[in-house]
Structure 1
């Protein structure tokens, strides 16, 4: 007898043999026992996950002579005939090679005839998404009004290409990728039954290379058995799958960590010399660092590792490499993989990537080191000493009196405009002296010259109007400028310091807009008899003349000279 491939010999014949699809097999078994069989099923999922095998098992279980049963007996004439393909009532139709509407109609024309050998006609249409639109329309009519003795089982790897009108008339079962552990367990059973000597690490390597497909895994195992001599080793599995050995990946990762460019390039030359595919190598390397990241962050999820085996070298490497560097390595490898897809010279991109990876600088997350803490503590101590000195000389107190008030008035100004400190202004007016105001005005120009330009600009439309021994009132022409000036603590300190150098007095500055100053001053004069240190400006009669002049000629043409 001619040799049969392992995936054909070990094709599942019962639901319990279908690996990794318990959510599908249990549902079908319950439906069989309860005799709730649908007229159409849709099996979708990746290749090699058991869709067609499950369809044939379902066909046998429906037509088994011992029905209703949860598993086909595989002993009766119906089960053996369906397994051998000798019963014409169970038809396996390949839509990939028979996609035309004429071929579909030839099959559907026989649907109306009753089965001859078993109870139900079962039509298994594989790769159903390959049918043409006309063929789908022909199938749709039969699915709408199927005969009682007909069951359709549609299998596909691309369910999104099937019309929704077809999907809505089927019970859909989604087959999942089979986990590497389930594939390894199945292969262990097979090698034990066949008497093949095989390393467990080789089976794990094959299972991970199969990417969730049992048929792919058995094909690779079959190939590895043929390639090996007496025992299937890890090297045999690497050769068959085209993967790069983990020892090689560990060696290259060590070169990146030690920034050894020569060693990295030598390892790459060795890799390409042995005929490894650059695209497969870059993919293996990305998975290598992906598994390392998962191992560092979630070491208990060993089943989630795609590529690596947890040997001592890998564990040591994972303990020494920081997570930030893994992020950078994966990012650079991913960019290289994207670039390699559009070039005829992938080796050049690989070599450039190796050099970059060896020279990469780890971007550490900003952390406060012990030396930085000591420097900060020293700086804080220095600032505390300066603060004590300023308090002793009265500087901080005057700044505290001036600075909080603008902040509070700025908060209120968002609703009502600038609000001057009327109480403090009245207190200054009570103790105001003409001599103090004259001294202040005499030094005003020189004081402005000592300020920085931005601070001096705020005083362009401002003038002192009253002064006492420890404070003065500054009138601003525009309310906005007054608010800006009183909100700036550095401006207040700059003016105070400049005046201190000229007058040897630390004066508190109180700002007030011109319009509000007239009201505040009038209110104070009404309650007092006036003070010599107040720049009273025009009297009430003059104010009436000024107001009348502004009405006649316009405010922009009237200039008031004191």
Structure 2
């Protein structure tokens, strides 16, 4: 006989060898011990978690002549002919999904078991049955002969009609944990006389996403790709990922908003033939672990418990806010699914990284929050310097408007009747009536210096707009309008603010404008 794949060689032959489903195994064994066996079961859950294997073990256990504590004995005549018994029928619903096949099944149900006490029908991928087939099965499933047991196995229980589910005992199989899969793989490797690093088995387990069959299949490939010793690099070569060290360096670049480094690393991934979708999933999983640690301050919920990796998680959790982590996870999760349906893999990957590192390029509220968080960190770290106020340029229109030498106070919220409120009303009118003038004034900060005087302040980089305002001779017209609105004489002066003479409030506003347009700040 030719080579048999590992997942077939090590398929569970007893309840004891079924991994990660203790709650189901315990219930089924108790039913057999107490002779409380139901006529119909529904086994549902993710692929590779033991649904069909458990169904086969259960089918043999109910017919075992000498079962031990509800499990198969492995020695009786029935157990010694596993795979050859006519009383156990496996039906693939994907290829036998019509009404005619179910009618044939109903005919065979009438015949007594050939050897054991029960005839067991295992219908795999039961959700693939047609509506007509379900209807044909319904009556038989509800009142089968006392010697017949039906077991329906499916990965998509929501596609099974409620009328079928209500006639079955439902058992939900869960994804198998990383540690449980690692223990199973370690046992198989020893039986195959192969050594394997624990980190390599953990990488296989994480890749399988809770499916033991997928994990054993990858172990089978890894054995062939190694020289008797399986390493992490050997596993990474097969699954197309970049490895933990590279992935954590990638996340560190995200924390630093180092777009250039990220783009270079992305280029390396693609040029080296790695799968971008797999890499995006790896980054997402590590970001999820960092988020879990950031929130819980505990390692209990981490999918990777290697001490060096956990230490790196703690370091990165201090550099990445929860809002930043959440947004990065959302963008990368979307990227992973989008990469399957596009030919522009590199472009899509690069655009996503730019969005993560430069939230000001996005329009959503989460990006705005992310931007504000980043700005706070810059201010706290001293990137924004302590400021003073600028030397003014002479007023262009009215000689009596004198430059103000003292520092202007930080802006306060406008109050009814104040010059600030009058100025805001004026800007709203100008926006509708004189677009050119509004284009000049929107670059300014209006700073009242008394009840009857104020400065129109331009930053040093916007000094050209101040010159344009003077050339147009608009200052007097602005002053006249403000006087009429305020009901009193108002003095105006144009000033240009330099980096050395900024007020604390305007310095923060300038930093904000480096991240966001002024319009966005006003909307928020």
Task: Give the equivalent residue in structure 2 for 1:14.
Answer: 14
Q: CA RMSD in A?
A: 3.2
After superposition, the C-alpha distances for 1:395-419 in whole angstroms (9 at most, x for unaligned) are xxxxxxxxxxxxxxxxxxxxxxxxx
Report how far residue 207 of structure 1 moved: 0.4
1: CA distance, partners of 2:283 / 2:10: 33
1: CA distance, partners of 2:281 / 2:120: 42
Report how far residue 125 of structure 1 moved: 1.1
- Out of 364, 368, 375, the position equivalent to 2:373 is 364
Task: Give the equivalent residue in structure 2 for 1:238.
Answer: 236
1: CA distance, partners of 2:184 / 2:117: 33
2: CA distance, partners of 1:319 / 1:16: 44
After superposition, the C-alpha distances for 1:487-545 in whole angstroms (9 at most, x for unaligned) are xxxxxxxxxxxxxxxxxxxxxxxxxxxxxxxxxxxxxxxxxxxxxxxxxxxxxxxxxxx
* Cα 1:117–1:231 shift into 2, 3 Å: same
TM-score scaled to structure 2, two decimals?
0.66
After superposition, the C-alpha distances for 1:310-368 in whole angstroms (9 at most, x for unaligned) are 42544433344444433443344345446545532020122233344445575328799
2: CA distance, partners of 1:275 / 1:239: 10
1:57-456 correspondence to structure 2 within 5 Å: 57-67=57-67, 69-81=69-81, 83=82, 85-305=83-303, 310-311=308-309, 312-334=311-333, 336-337=335-336, 340=339, 342-359=341-358, 362-364=371-373
* Cα 1:294–1:120 shift into 2, 3 Å: same
Task: Give the equivalent residue in structure 1 for 2:501.
Answer: none
Task: Give the equivalent residue in structure 2 for 1:3.
Answer: 3
Task: Please identify the structure whose Cα radius of gyration is greater.
Answer: 1
Report how far residue 455 of structure 1 moved: 8.8
Structure 1 gaps, min length 5: 376-381, 383-450, 457-562
Please say which of residues 157-166 and 318-327 is displaced more in the overlay: 318-327
* Cα 1:249–1:69 shift into 2, 3 Å: closer
2: CA distance, partners of 1:370 / 1:204: 39
2: CA distance, partners of 1:40 / 1:179: 28
Please say which of residues 345-354 and 315-324 is displaced more in the overlay: 315-324
Residue 28 (str. 1) matches residue 18 (str. 2): no
1: CA distance, partners of 2:330 / 2:62: 52
2: CA distance, partners of 1:198 / 1:123: 39
Report how far residue 63 of structure 1 moved: 0.6
* Cα 1:35–1:358 shift into 2, 3 Å: same
Please say which of residues 71-80 and 329-338 is displaced more in the overlay: 329-338
Report how far residue 170 of structure 1 moved: 0.9
* Cα 1:109–1:307 shift into 2, 3 Å: farther
Report how far residue 215 of structure 1 moved: 0.5
Local SS of the residue matching 1:110: helix
2: CA distance, partners of 1:308 / 1:327: 23
| Equivalent pair of 2:121/2:151 in contact (CA under 8 Å) | yes
| Equivalent pair of 1:11/1:53 in contact (CA under 8 Å) | yes
Local SS of the residue matching 2:373: coil
* Cα 1:47–1:336 shift into 2, 3 Å: closer
* Cα 1:134–1:315 shift into 2, 3 Å: same
After superposition, the C-alpha distances for 1:105-158 in whole angstroms (9 at most, x for unaligned) are 222211111112111111111111111222222211212221111111111111
| Equivalent pair of 1:101/1:134 in contact (CA under 8 Å) | yes
Report how far residue 200 of structure 1 moved: 0.4
* Cα 1:199–1:173 shift into 2, 3 Å: same
* Cα 1:111–1:282 shift into 2, 3 Å: same
Structure 2 gaps, min length 5: 360-369, 388-409, 411-482, 489-524
After superposition, the C-alpha distances for 1:16-62 in whole angstroms (9 at most, x for unaligned) are 21111111111111111110011111111111111111111111111
1: CA distance, partners of 2:160 / 2:16: 29
* Cα 1:225–1:303 shift into 2, 3 Å: farther
| Equivalent pair of 1:122/1:150 in contact (CA under 8 Å) | yes
2: CA distance, partners of 1:288 / 1:21: 26
Local SS of the residue matching 1:117: coil
Report how far residue 98 of structure 1 moved: 1.1
| Equivalent pair of 1:198/1:232 in contact (CA under 8 Å) | yes
| Equivalent pair of 1:62/1:68 in contact (CA under 8 Å) | no
Task: Give the equivalent residue in structure 2 for 1:430.
Answer: none
1:510-525 correspondence to structure 2 within 5 Å: none
Report how far residue 261 of structure 1 moved: 3.7
